[in-house]
Structure 1
């Protein structure tokens, strides 16, 4: 039997009083048992029925926990059963009491003088546009109530002398949300509020790099990442991605040591890949040894369609060399320019001093309202509803695409608000996207996301967040006609 010590507690709650599900308790215990070595690599997991009987819980809870661990890469499920993945090479170095080795002569870049925030365009409302949430399903009435309560809290003192790093209540609410839903290890003092994830990324770069430093960036990746790194006189190495996320050759650590590694491990954009736990642990250990820093982008990670959201890489170790960034533009609405960055514990004081002159606590009313929205439970309920909506739309989109193209051409689908349709070698995906856009279908050309494009890197990034499911089949049929009419 699996040794996870003690029964699960149906009444377990967080310090704030929120119930902790049996599923989450089981996932956390099994994950800890694997990382600590109590469940060694290669060990066969107890059958779901036997473990359910042992713990006095439903078999479905165990099945869901095993599926979640398989999605994260902790276990492998095949016709021979479920067994622990081989993580020995990395877990033996995961000592949370060991401080990150300091090899950088400067922790915070002295060039920090201004915040260069990229201009942002108004999002498209075309059908199948990636990255746009379902605006018709946003709980506007509840959000207005939070805004009204925020306005009522205003007084003359609150109009000035605000904490430039963000509203304290919002920082506390985000820290609690990330801890519960993503496994992020942080407190409110490590949370800095920004004007979106793009500014959070740019501030991380300003803090941690000097001109000429080497950075590693996922390839493909979204435009904002390329823009942020390209504007800072950095040497950019594009690292390829497969179905398990970043593929980092071991020798690269010796020949091109990075100052920063950028990754979106829970849901890579645009491929939808999930960085496997073995690669996560390898990345953390190599970064720690090399004095490098990881920027973990929490892209679309709230919307996982099967089981709970994938746990953060940052939370794998107390001393992880990770800056964790995210925003509310996908989980709430695009014009809510509120993002956040989670600063490593040992850097928070230096970073606070450096960023206090850059961050001015803008969007104060919206920050106060968002804190109320999260604390009241409305945010959690909204996420739950949207997961169900997006799960249904993803099924319809996948089914519609499969009527015209092989299932093997479709990437992603386990999370987020888009699928990627790959196309044959040297296909002109750009011209297809342009023609589709002219017809009110907002798909994007996959090739434009690559820095080191190969002939095979062709396809379309197809969103479903803000497209009603009844409109999806016809839009896909139009796309199929455009693809069929495109010469190769």
Structure 2
């Protein structure tokens, strides 16, 4: 800390800047005084010059000085009375000293140590990135009309907070769509609008678990689900998946009964398996006996490319202990940040008060526009166009892989969604291949990063075809094949 100096020396040592680009004189004077007080050059109790004296000494307006003094007094840096303006007594933090006792340093939450980095975040324009829809094919003109309609109808009334659980119009539109398209049994009152899937998952954790509870997650599986569970201080237990989806044994329910079970039954992420009806019914029955809740993440099942759509597990039996989660990130566009959570009917009354207190309404025009987009039929027409586009792109990617990926591999992912998973022998390290592809603007995800407890077979690449043109697949796969052969482990 500098030694304290007379106020006049501090204030008159350099003139204030008066050039046209300089900050206003009042702000300059305020900053000079504040910094001098904070670093100790103006000591507590020092009297500052009167406004007239200071104004004359600095060749500025007396009103400018008065305004600066009043601002400092409002912030607590100085005290004003009939005798003038004096520097206030402030508690200053001690100088930083070498850290000897880690317990004396403020710490972040211990749970954060569980959250590990996976793959670098890539630009949406990069190729083969999983999870990105065909942005250039989105009907912006139709969306603009729906948005304009929402503004005209709602006017300034929608500038307020709105209902915490979301706009009634959107909840009604979602309930109708889910009943027809996904076989979900629900009323609008069961739906909570969220800011995407991640908020819906975090809300499930906050509403239904206590720290230390056990949560089962698919392995390999969606990283965001693991982060949501870890953020709630849950004991996260990875459960393996196979060609028929989540694998659960009778002994698992006895040895480590869960409070939550997270699953993607209609299109397992990222391997693509469909959870068989036998396993679905068994999961529901076992969860009922254990008092557990199932989170069904139906992230991209609108895009089924072969056969009839796979129905949601939520509607399989009445009163299933299933919380159904969805979003518009894949069906519309990611930056919309609109998702939804369908609560079991048995929880609606009990959770009303917590939801009213925990949530705040928002994004009202976007919600109203989405409701208009759904009810007008634009949403269904858009989904139809995208299904055809993604079906063609998936087929083109499969053909490119067959022709140009010159190493042992198997293609998984089913006939659904926006990505394919290519399993590779462990001698072709997926992380090294993905890192080598990044400078070329190619951003597949390594399969191994989706596993909490990776096994040798969890090696491969998750290739997104949603936002990559089909004519690019052949040169991209050729490049990946070259990179994979170069990254091959020897010996």
> Could you state the TM-score of these two structures normalised by the residue count of structure 1?
0.74
Alpha-carbon RMSD: 1.7
Q: Trace 1:192-207 onto structure 2 (pairs within 5 A).
A: 192-207=192-207
Q: Trace 1:54-69 onto structure 2 (pairs within 5 A).
A: none
For 1:175, the equivalent position in structure 2 comes to 175
2:244 is equivalent to residue 251 of structure 1? no
Q: Trace 1:119-268 onto structure 2 (pairs within 5 A).
A: 124-160=124-160, 162-268=162-268
Contact 1:123 1:132 in 2 (8 A): no
Contact 2:266 2:310 in 1 (8 A): yes
For 2:418, the equivalent position in structure 1 comes to 417
Q: Considering only CA atoms, is the larger Rg found in Structure 1 or Structure 2?
A: 2
Aligned length: 370
For 2:395, the equivalent position in structure 1 comes to 395
More displaced stretch, 169-178 vs 149-158: 149-158
Tell me the CA shift for residue 244 of structure 1: 0.5
User: Which structure 2 segments of 5+ residues have no match?
Assistant: 1-119
Tell me the CA shift for residue 423 of structure 1: 0.6
Describe the SS at the equivalent of 1:146: helix
User: Which structure 1 segments of 5+ residues have no match?
Assistant: 1-119
2:484 is equivalent to residue 483 of structure 1? yes
Tell me the CA shift for residue 166 of structure 1: 0.4
Q: Measure, in 2, the Cα distance between the counterparts of 1:309 and 1:356.
A: 35
For 1:65, the equivalent position in structure 2 comes to none
Describe the SS at the equivalent of 1:155: helix
Query: In proportion to residue count, which structure has more helix?
Result: 2
Tell me the CA shift for residue 250 of structure 1: 1.1
Q: Measure, in 1, the Cα distance between the counterparts of 2:462 and 2:161.
A: 44
For 2:467, the equivalent position in structure 1 comes to 466
For 1:326, the equivalent position in structure 2 comes to 326
Q: Measure, in 1, the Cα distance between the counterparts of 2:122 and 2:367.
A: 21
Q: Measure, in 1, the Cα distance between the counterparts of 2:307 and 2:411.
A: 21
Contact 2:303 2:417 in 1 (8 A): yes
For 1:439, the equivalent position in structure 2 comes to 440
Describe the SS at the equivalent of 1:357: helix
Tell me the CA shift for residue 317 of structure 1: 1.3
In structure 2, relative to structure 1, the CA distance for the partners of 1:123 and 1:302 (3 Å cut) is farther
In structure 2, relative to structure 1, the CA distance for the partners of 1:270 and 1:388 (3 Å cut) is same
Contact 1:393 1:469 in 2 (8 A): yes
Tell me the CA shift for residue 121 of structure 1: 6.7
> Could you state the TM-score of these two structures normalised by the residue count of structure 2?
0.73
Q: Measure, in 2, the Cα distance between the counterparts of 1:469 and 1:272.
A: 21
Tell me the CA shift for residue 427 of structure 1: 2.9
Describe the SS at the equivalent of 2:334: coil
For 1:368, the equivalent position in structure 2 comes to 368
Q: Measure, in 2, the Cα distance between the counterparts of 1:122 and 1:128.
A: 11
Tell me the CA shift for residue 349 of structure 1: 1.6
Q: Measure, in 2, the Cα distance between the counterparts of 1:161 and 1:333.
A: 24
2:358 is equivalent to residue 355 of structure 1? no
In structure 2, relative to structure 1, the CA distance for the partners of 1:176 and 1:359 (3 Å cut) is same
Contact 2:428 2:484 in 1 (8 A): no
